Chains A and B, each alone.
Chain A
Amino acid sequence: EKWSLSPEEFEIWDRLYRIKESDGIKTPTLPQVWFETIENLEERSKHEEETAHELSLSKWRIWQNQSFPTFMVDHSDRCYHFTSVMEMIELMRHEQGDCSYQLEIQPHLCLEDVH
């Protein structure tokens, strides 16, 4: 069928891209999506767990307070929000005792706004 690889394409895929036993590497997978509040959508088999190289979204978290360079697609507002929160976390990481954010924002609180 047209959607699948032609024999030539299959040969190239098998030679250049397919992960083989002899490569001694595991097939990369994305981390599973765990929801605390609703039942987990996908169960991964034990075998899959062992044979996969699970990519990490948090391993380089301390790098995430800066926006990485982009090319054809600029960063989204969600992404700028993410990196700015990561920067705030980085600044607060070394705080001892009082929380600077609380000290800064508390004076602006009007109780009638929240009761």
Chain B
Amino acid sequence: QRLKAAVHYTAGCLCREVAEDKKMEFSKQTIAALSEITFRQ
């Protein structure tokens, strides 16, 4: 779970960079889903 939290945190930071770049917001679910997909990848 700690490892998943580290992946989730990093995915969130990367998403925030894209969000700033595209002037968009990402919902919490989207970041959580992207984190889970990345973990599985």
Contacts and interface: CB of A to CB of B under 8 A. Distances in A.
Q: Do chains A and B touch in the complex (CB under 8 A)?
A: yes
Interface of A: 3-5, 9-10, 12-13, 16-19, 23, 25, 27-30, 53, 55
B5 interface: yes
A25 B9 contact: no
A5 B5 contact: yes
Secondary structure call for the B interface: helix
A3 B9 CA distance: 12
B32 A16 contact: no
B9 to A, nearest CB: 4
Nearest to A16: B12
Contacts of A55: 33, 36-37
Interface size for chain B: under 10, 10 to 19, 20 to 34, or 35 or more residues? 10 to 19
A110 to B, nearest CB: 44
A28 B2 contact: no
27 contacts: A3-B3, A4-B2, A4-B5, A4-B6, A10-B5, A12-B9, A13-B5, A13-B8, A13-B9, A16-B12, A17-B8, A17-B9, A17-B31, A17-B32, A18-B8, A19-B28, A19-B29, A25-B29, A27-B32, A27-B36, A28-B33, A28-B36, A29-B36, A30-B37, A55-B33, A55-B36, A55-B37
B29 A53 contact: yes
A61 B3 CA distance: 32
B2 A5 contact: yes
A4 B29 CA distance: 22
Given A5-B6, A10-B5, A25-B29, A17 B36 contact: no
